[in-house]
Structure 1
Amino acid sequence: MSVYISVSELFTIGIGPSSSHTVGPMRAARAFTQDLLDRGVLSQVTKVVCTLYGSLAATGVGHGTPDAVVAGLSGLTPEDCDPDRVRGAWSSLHVDSRCMLAGVHEITFTPGDIVFQPRTRLPAHPNAVALTAWAGDGGRPLAAETYYSIGGGFIRREGEPVSTGGVDQPLPFDTAEQLLDICATEGCSISEVARRNEAAIHGAAGMRESLQRIWAAMVACVSAGLSAEGTLPGGLGTVRRAGELKRALDSASDDHDDCRGDWLLAFALAVNEENAAGGRVVTAPTNGAAGIVPAVAHYYLRFVPGAGFDGVEDYLLTATAIGALVKANASISGAEGGCQAEVGAACAMAAAGLCAVLGGSPPQVENAAEIAIEHHLGLTCDPVGGLVQIPCIERNAVASSTAVTAARLALRGTGAHRVSLDTAIETMRQTGLDMSHKYKETSLAGLAVNVVEC
């Protein structure tokens, strides 16, 4: 078995504001109707009811979960849908509204056909969505499935085994220690380990195409965020700041250290403001933490002499290896592990990637990732108003700075350090288990209850 996850799975192109609450539920709803279509029974369906449990119900409206479900039932996919078709898909429904299941079969679908159960948490995962389809006037359901949105846009159908990947990889690893041993034995970098495994999954050409597509989407998201203005939706009155910061920096000299750091902040703010607006983003590894990896990569390209796409490729591959370790051995789900699982994981990925492209050895890269995770342990997920805005947007900017600092600290060392990355990841897992559910994306404690929404 290998924990390695393909770069095209860890970095998926979707829409905001949440990979677990928007992208995952959309995929689940689409999978449900697609299964009915494949079985030849979709035309019999007269009614569909969706029940959201736990965190999906508690903060679902602010995260666009009901809209995503309606879009998914209609056959839309987060990778290529028009975000405007998702926004308001549920809130605009009325008693006589219709939904075109899988784009081919029309039924009546009303706001009440999505049910919220915030106090009910299913054992397998806090993010659960149950879908039931009926034929005729009721009676026995035609089909019923429960899906779990397990973070980063990944979903798992109840009863299905946890996927371990279907392709034998030439350099499998389960832990950071094993990864470092491979690097030492093969005399290669962490990015090279990921590259060989990636080539086994998709081929060298497929790997490069995926990396180019992912990077192009990241660039487009940063560009859109830097050029947009106005107030973000949701009622908090959160004003976009990335564009204003960019305009101020355009007239300043990049040679000044403060300007370099401020550009890093602008890149991160740009992505997460786009995410909060429901725009096109790349899960990295989640939407709530989507700004960190692209921000640090933009920082590398702008300020490191000789930087280019080959370096970005190594950066993303290194980040993928680290992200795979966190996902497999802890979690990247805010509902499961708090924000340490999202922003902490993204910070570790970015720190490792930057350390690698700045010439760090595998032990130094591992150290950079460990530093990043260690200083996010215990970070709660308590979004005000159930929106991915406060403190989420600023948190990405701060964590981007932490990633750069972690990389620089690791580069100043030999790679030897007291706390291993494996230990930090295991500590994250244990901390997530111990953390009260009130601090895990439910908006039932912390800032979410101490900030007046007005």
Structure 2
Amino acid sequence: MMLSAFDIFKIGIGPSSSHTVGPMRAALLFARSLEQRGLLERVARLRVDLFGSLGATGHGHATDQGVILGLFGDAPDTVRPETVQPRLEALRRGGTLMLLGTTPIAFDRVRDIVFRGEESLPEHPNAMRFTAFATDDAVLAEGRYFSVGGGFVVEGGQAVAQTAAVAMPHPFATGDELMAQCEANGLSVAALVLRNECAWRPEAEVRAGLLRIWGVMQQCVQRGFGIDNPLAAQALPGPLRMRRRAGELHRELLAQAGAADPLAAMDWVNAFAMAVNEENAAGGRVVTAPTNGAAGVVPAVMHYYQRFVPNASDAGIVDFLLTAAAIGMLYKTNASISGAEVGCQGEVGVACSMAAGALAAVLGGTPAQVENAAEIGMEHNLGLTCDPVGGMVQIPCVERNAMGAVKAINAARMALRGDGSHYVSLDAVIRTMKQTGEDMKSTYKETSLGGLAVNVVEC
């Protein structure tokens, strides 16, 4: 089944698409399944077992928080971040969870959510098991879910459809097929993807939806800068107590406006990316692009386009997102966007590839140059590990997004200096990324058992 741009770009909350958004969606699916089967009123208590990476880094990634919100009946794109902590505190004090907002059950966050980081299920490292019990402790229902990256959820071995299956006018599953479709139909990547999107919804609705995505990205940057957000002056949550830097950097850049600095644009890109990922780390509203851990790369490059490219427009923004989505679909279809599965090359690496190709497109690149830019963006992120300190999406994630955004801009510029011909294809680099992820030790795949996660503590 072809993916939609709205599968790749989903509105949610931080700090993680696979460890917060995915578990929230899974918990909501399980709660709704109880309702659909007429079991909701019979539930006395629940137990949630978190396996593998979810169990190993779930505390730092707020996985238990995501699960509770889903059981409340919240969805990632509609939950109000400012209400989360007050409701969690009320649950802690009262010990009663309103399942789907209607059915009270006894619930203790420590007792009823079990972190099993030392155990893994064979299907995927991000596994969850939900069990509902009656008053006599008899099992009413059980469900297994897998959070496979970017907020995508697989239930019991079968993918939960993000978008209804329809026949696409221009289907593609590989980069070569995408290039062939563009050439055969005389279309840019963005125009081709737009035609596919119109199989689901009218063009005006597609454009409006993508501009809404852009609006959420802009709001996230503004909040990350501390504009109408006093919480941005506080340290990031968790034991690291990391100081937020995006607001201060933004103020410095405004004060230095007009100064002769040939690299000022790079400072702005750093600020944009860090603003998003600091807001993500604080549990704010972000857009998975394609994940939360990599949510700052695409918005930062889009802000670069808007601020520094002459004649930037909303039409260019739409083309940017459509092109980036096409590239993201290729990675999701043929490899992975899960840090727990392939390391951070599947998150920041994919985001860099998406942003590079999309920027090349809106700067006038041909489909071949777009494909070249996307390939460069990933080729030089191959082997990137996921080793978050303390299991939180803070170190090295915040700065890594800034580095990924700058690298994406450079990849686009390199591709535009050529004619689109290159030796390594995008398909080849996607295969290589997948193989590299399979060979990577699990200690470097979002378990916080190796790399910086170990050595920073030792220092």
TM-score interval, normalised by the smaller of the two chains:
over 0.9
Q: 2 CA distance for matches of 1:241 and 1:94?
A: 32
Q: 2 CA distance for matches of 1:73 and 1:93?
A: 12
Is 1:420 the counterpart of 2:425? The answer is yes
- Render the CA deviation track for 1:367-414: whole Å, top value 9, x for unaligned: 000000000000000000000000000000001000000000000001
Within the candidate set 272, 275, 284, 1:279 is matched to 284
Q: Is the 8 A contact 1:385 1:453 kept in 2?
A: no
Is 1:225 the counterpart of 2:224? The answer is yes
User: How far off its partner does 1:331 sit?
Assistant: 0.4
Identity among equivalent positions (%) equals 56
Q: Is the 8 A contact 1:75 1:102 kept in 2?
A: yes
Q: Is the 8 A contact 2:91 2:97 kept in 1?
A: no
User: Which aligned pairs between 1:7-406 and structure 2 lie closer than 5 A?
Assistant: 7-87=5-85, 94=92, 97-110=95-108, 111-139=110-138, 141-160=139-158, 166-227=165-226, 228-253=232-257, 256-406=261-411
User: How far off its partner does 1:252 sit?
Assistant: 2.1
Q: Indicate the SS of the match to 2:48.
A: strand
- Render the CA deviation track for 1:98-131: whole Å, top value 9, x for unaligned: 0000111000001201111101111111001100
Q: 1 CA distance for matches of 2:334 and 2:140?
A: 37
Q: Is the 8 A contact 1:67 1:89 kept in 2?
A: no
Aligned to 1:408: 413
Q: Is the 8 A contact 1:169 1:200 kept in 2?
A: yes
Q: 1 CA distance for matches of 2:272 and 2:160?
A: 35
Is 1:431 the counterpart of 2:430? The answer is no
Pairwise CA RMSD = 1.6
Q: 2 CA distance for matches of 1:371 and 1:113?
A: 46
Q: Is the 8 A contact 2:276 2:295 kept in 1?
A: yes
User: How far off its partner does 1:93 sit?
Assistant: 5.2
Residue 165 and residue 410 in structure 1: after superposition, are their counterparts in 2 closer, same or farther (change >3 A)? Answer: farther
TM value normalised by structure 2: 0.95
Q: 2 CA distance for matches of 1:91 and 1:59?
A: 22
Q: Is the 8 A contact 1:135 1:142 kept in 2?
A: yes
User: How far off its partner does 1:39 sit?
Assistant: 1.7
Q: 2 CA distance for matches of 1:299 and 1:198?
A: 26
Residue 50 and residue 225 in structure 1: after superposition, are their counterparts in 2 closer, same or farther (change >3 A)? Answer: same
- Render the CA deviation track for 1:55-80: whole Å, top value 9, x for unaligned: 00100011000011111111011111
- Render the CA deviation track for 1:182-216: whole Å, top value 9, x for unaligned: 11111110011110001112221221121021011
Q: 2 CA distance for matches of 1:29 and 1:149?
A: 11
User: How far off its partner does 1:134 sit?
Assistant: 1.1
Q: 1 CA distance for matches of 2:431 and 2:365?
A: 24
Q: Indicate the SS of the match to 1:200.
A: coil
Q: Is the 8 A contact 2:153 2:159 kept in 1?
A: no
Aligned amino acid, residue 418 of structure 1: Y
Aligned amino acid, residue 133 of structure 2: W
Q: 1 CA distance for matches of 2:350 and 2:441?
A: 20
- Render the CA deviation track for 1:249-270: whole Å, top value 9, x for unaligned: 1122367331111001100000
Q: Indicate the SS of the match to 1:63.
A: coil
- Render the CA deviation track for 1:19-62: whole Å, top value 9, x for unaligned: 00000001100111111112221001111100000000100011
Aligned residues: 451
Q: After superposing the two structures, state which structure 1 stretch, 255-264 or 360-369, moved more.
A: 255-264
User: How far off its partner does 1:349 sit?
Assistant: 0.5
Q: Is the 8 A contact 1:169 1:201 kept in 2?
A: no
Q: 2 CA distance for matches of 1:402 and 1:201?
A: 34
Q: 1 CA distance for matches of 2:39 and 2:176?
A: 49
Aligned amino acid, residue 107 of structure 2: F
Q: Is the 8 A contact 2:123 2:157 kept in 1?
A: no
Q: Indicate the SS of the match to 1:319.
A: helix
Q: 1 CA distance for matches of 2:374 and 2:55?
A: 33
Q: After superposing the two structures, state which structure 1 stretch, 75-84 or 297-306, moved more.
A: 75-84
Q: What are the ranges of 5 or more consecutive residues in structure 2 without an aligned counterpart?
A: 227-231
User: How far off its partner does 1:329 sit?
Assistant: 0.5
Q: Indicate the SS of the match to 1:133.
A: strand
- Render the CA deviation track for 1:303-346: whole Å, top value 9, x for unaligned: 01100111000000000000000111010000011000000100
TM value normalised by structure 1: 0.96
Q: 1 CA distance for matches of 2:296 and 2:87?
A: 26
Aligned to 2:229: none
Residue 341 and residue 88 in structure 1: after superposition, are their counterparts in 2 closer, same or farther (change >3 A)? Answer: farther
Q: 2 CA distance for matches of 1:91 and 1:64?
A: 14
Q: Is the 8 A contact 1:25 1:69 kept in 2?
A: yes
Q: After superposing the two structures, state which structure 1 stretch, 93-102 or 241-250, moved more.
A: 93-102
Aligned amino acid, residue 302 of structure 1: R
